[in-house]
A and B are shown apart, each in its own frame.
Chain A
C-alpha cells in the first residue's frame, strides 16, 4: 500500500503547483482590461469565419504517416540503449520491427499519399 502513497503525493503536488501559480498570479496581478486584451487568443491571429469547416483529409493521412516514424523512435531508443546486453536476438527483432514500419511507409508512398495534392 505504501508505494501508492507516492502516487497520491504526486497527484497532490501536481495539483498544488498549477493551482498555486495561477492563483498567485490572479491575486497579485493588476487588472486593467481593454477590448484588445480580452480578445480570444488563437495563435496570435483572430479566427476568420467558423472553425467547424471541412479540412483536407490529407492532413489526417500525414499524421498517420508521421506516426510510423514517431512510434519507431519511441521504441528504438530504449532498444538501442540496451542492445549490447540483448545480443543477436534483439537485433533481429529490431530489424523485423523496422521492416514492418517500412512496409507501412512503402505502402503510403506507392499510393501517392506523400504528394500534396
Chain B
C-alpha cells in the first residue's frame, strides 16, 4: 500500500472507521439519549464530506487499479454524503416519535453510505459487487427496522429476497464478462473488448449486470419491490433509500457502462431507450391511482428513475455523452433535494401505526400550516418539472441533451409523461389548499429545518443553475 492508495480512499476509510467506532461507542450511550449517536454519525458524515471536498481536482487510481478517484467520484460522493446528512436529519425526531430509536439505525446508515461511496469509486467489477452488497445489506435491515410492524418486516424480507436475487444477476454477469474478456477490471474490459473477442458472451454479461443495477434504481420491469418496500419501511428509511440507492445505482451504471462497455453501444442503446420509456410511462401512469402518499411517491421514484435513465441513451456517442451524463448528474442532485423535502413533509404528517399517510389527510394543510404546505407545493412542482424549481432545470438539461443526441421521440415521451404526472402531484396541492380538514403535524426543529432547507435549495439553485451544471460537466469531463 502506497500513500497514493491511501489518499484514493481517504474519505471512505475515515467513514468506515468512524462507523465501526460508533458501533462500540453507542453501546455506552444510555437508551434514552440515542440522539447523541445521531449527532456523532452526522459529525462523521460532515468530517468525511470536508475531506471529500478537499479531494476536488485530485485524480488517481489506487490498490492496483481496483478503485479510482476522479471528478465524477468526488461529485457523486459529496452528493451521497449530503443525502446521508439529510437522512439523519429526517430520522432524528422521527425514530424517537415512532419508538424506533436505537443506535444501530445510524450505524447502519453510515455503513450503507460507505457502500454507496465505494460504488462511485469502483473500477473493478469485483469492487462493484462488494460495494453493492455493502450498500444493500444495511438497507435491508433498515427497511425492517420497525420490528413490531408487520409491514416493515414484509418490506425488509421482500427487499432482501429480491435484492439478493438481483445481486445474483450482477455476479453472474460479472462472471460472464470475466469469461469473455479474462479480466474484471473496467479498463481491462475495454482493452479486451476493442480487440473484438467473443462479443456475444460479453453482451449477455453486460445485460445481466444491467438487470441488477436496474433493480437497484427501480427501473421498470425490475420495479416490483419498490411500492411495497417504500410503503412498509419506516418513512425516514424510505427517504434515504430512495435517494441514496438511486445515486449509487446510477453511479455504478455510468461507471461500468460508460467506461467498460462502449463497444456494446449499438446493442445497448435500444435497450436503454426502451427501459427509460417504459419506466417513465408505467411509473407515472400507475401513480395516478394511488391514494397513499408513500405509494404515490414510490411510483414517482420509479418514474424519475426513467428520466435519469434517459441520460444513458446517447450512450456511445462521444460528443453528446458528456453533456447528457452531466445532465443526469444535475437531475440526480435536483431529485435528491426534492425527494428529501417531500418525504420530510410526509414525516411531519405521519402518525404512529401508519396513520396520516393518505392524500386525503393533507386536506386543510394550506390554511393551518401555510409554510409546510408551501414547501410541499414547491416539491410537487419540482417533481413535475415546473418553474421555479430545480426539477424544471433538470428536465430541461436532460431533454436538451437527449434531443441533441437525436432521440427526439424519447424526449417527447418524457414531456408527455411529465404532463401526466402533473395530475397526481397537483392533486396533493389541490387537497392541501382547496379541501377542508384538520390536519395535525409534528413540530420537530430538525425536521422543519430539513424541509425548509431543501425547499430553499430547490427554488434558489433553480434561479442560478449554471454553476451546478458546470460543476457536473467538469466532474464527467475526464470519463470519456
Is A103 close to B, CB under 8 A? yes
| CA distance in complex: A34, B255 (Å) | 66
B34 → chain A, closest Cβ, in Å?
A: 14
Q: Is the interface of A mostly helix, strand, loop or mixed?
A: helix
Interface of chain B residues 219 through 244 with chain A (CB within 8 A): none
With CB as the reference atom, state the residue of chain B lying closest to A93.
B1
Residues of B within 8 A of A110 (CB): 27
The residue on B at minimum CB distance from A106 is B24
Minimum CB–CB distance for A75 against chain B, Å: 16
Interface check A32, CB cutoff 8 A = no
Chain A, residue nearest B27 (CB)? A110
Contact call A107/B27, Cβ cutoff below 8 A: yes
Whether the pair B27, A106 counts as a contact (CB closer than 8 A) is: yes
Check if A100 is an interface residue, CB within 8 A of chain B: yes
- The reply to whether A103 and B20 form a contact with Cβ atoms under 8 Å apart is yes
Main secondary structure of the interface of B (DSSP, over half): helix
A77 at the binding interface (Cβ < 8 Å): no
For B, the interface residue count at a CB cutoff of 8 angstroms equals 5
Measured CB to CB, the nearest residue on chain B to A111 is B27
Chain B 14-55: CB-based contact to A (< 8 A → 1; otherwise 0):
000000100110010000000000000000000000000000
Contacts of A103 in B (CB 8 A): 20, 23-24
Asked whether A89 and B27 contact (CB < 8 A) given A100-B20, A103-B20, the answer is: no
Nearest B residue to A92 via CB reads B1
Contacts of B24 in A (CB 8 A): 103, 106-107
Q: Which chain B positions have C-beta within 8 A of A89?
A: 1
Residues of A within 8 A of B20 (CB): 100, 103
- In the assembled complex, which residues on chain A have CB atoms less than 8 Å from the CB atom of B27? 106-107, 110-111
Among A100, A106, A107, A111: residue with most chain B CB under 10 A: A107
Q: Restricting to A2-50, which residues have a CB under 8 Å from any CB of B?
A: none
Q: Across the interface, which residues of B come within 8 angstroms of A107, CB to CB?
A: 23-24, 27
The smallest C-beta distance from A83 to any residue of chain B, in angstroms, reads: 17
The distance from the CB of B147 to the nearest CB of chain A, in whole angstroms, is 11
What CA separation (Å) do A5 and B258 show in the bound complex?
37
A87 to chain B minimum Cβ distance, whole angstroms, is 12
Q: Give the docked Cα–Cα distance between A110 and B24 (Å).
A: 9
Quick one: closest B residue to A89, CB to CB?
B1
How far in angstroms is the closest Cβ of chain B from A100? 7
* Interchain CA distance A107-B102 in the complex, whole Å: 14
Give CA–CA (A79, B27) in the complex, Å: 31
Cα(A107)–Cα(B20), bound, Å: 10
A103 to B107, CA, bound (A): 13
Q: Which of A76-106 contact B (CB under 8 A)?
A: 89, 100, 103, 106
Using Cβ atoms and an 8 Å threshold, which residues of chain B touch A111? 27
Which residue from chain A places its CB closest to the CB of B26 in the assembled complex? A107
Q: Which of A32-77 contact B (CB under 8 A)?
A: none
Instruction: Please name all residues of chain A whose beta carbon is closer than 8 Å to the beta carbon of B1 when the two chains form the complex.
Output: 89
Docked complex Cα distance between A100 and B24 (Å): 11
Q: How far is the CA of A77 from the CA of B135 in the complex (A)?
A: 30
Chain A proximity mask over B123-151: 1 for CB below 8 Å, otherwise 0: 00000000000000000000000000000
A100 partner residues in chain B, CB cutoff 8 A: 20
Report the minimum CB–CB distance from A106 to chain B (whole Å): 6
What is the CB-to-nearest-CB distance from B62 to chain A, in angstroms, rounded to a whole number?
A: 15
**In the complex, what's the smallest C-beta–C-beta distance from A4 to chain B, in angstroms?**
12
Residues from chain A with Cβ under 8 Å of B23 in the complex: 103, 107
- Please measure, in the bound complex, the distance between the C-alpha atom of A103 and the C-alpha atom of B27, giving whole angstroms: 11
Chain B residues with CB below 8 A from A106, complex form: 24, 27
Alpha-carbon gap, A111 to B1, bound state (A): 36
B64 CB → nearest A CB, Å? 15
Q: Flag B160-198 by CB within 8 Å of A: 1 or 0 each.
A: 000000000000000000000000000000000000000
- Cα A111 to Cα B24 in complex, Å, equals 10
Interface residues of B in 1-20 (CB under 8 A from A): 1, 20
- Please give me the residue from chain B that is nearest to A100 by CB atom: B20
B151 to chain A, nearest CB (A): 20
- A96 nearest CB across to chain B (Å): 10
Closest A residue to B21 by CB, please name it. A103
How near does chain B come to A61, taking the closest CB pair, in angstroms?
14
Give complex CA distance A106, B24 in Å. Answer: 7
Considering the chains assembled together, what is the distance between the CA atoms of A110 and B104 in angstroms? 13
A27 to B23, CA, bound (A): 60
Q: Mark A103-117, 1 if CB is under 8 A from B, else 0.
A: 100110011000000
* Closest chain B CB from A25 CB (angstroms): 38
**Of all chain B residues, which has the CB nearest A107?**
B23
Whole-angstrom distance from the CB of A32 to the nearest CB of chain B? 48
Identify 9 new A-B residue pairs, CB closer than 8 A, beyond the known A100-B20, A103-B20, A106-B24: A89-B1, A103-B23, A103-B24, A106-B27, A107-B23, A107-B24, A107-B27, A110-B27, A111-B27
A-B contact pairs, 12 of them (CB 8 A): A89-B1, A100-B20, A103-B20, A103-B23, A103-B24, A106-B24, A106-B27, A107-B23, A107-B24, A107-B27, A110-B27, A111-B27
Closest 5 CB pairs of A and B: A110-B27, A103-B20, A103-B24, A107-B23, A106-B24
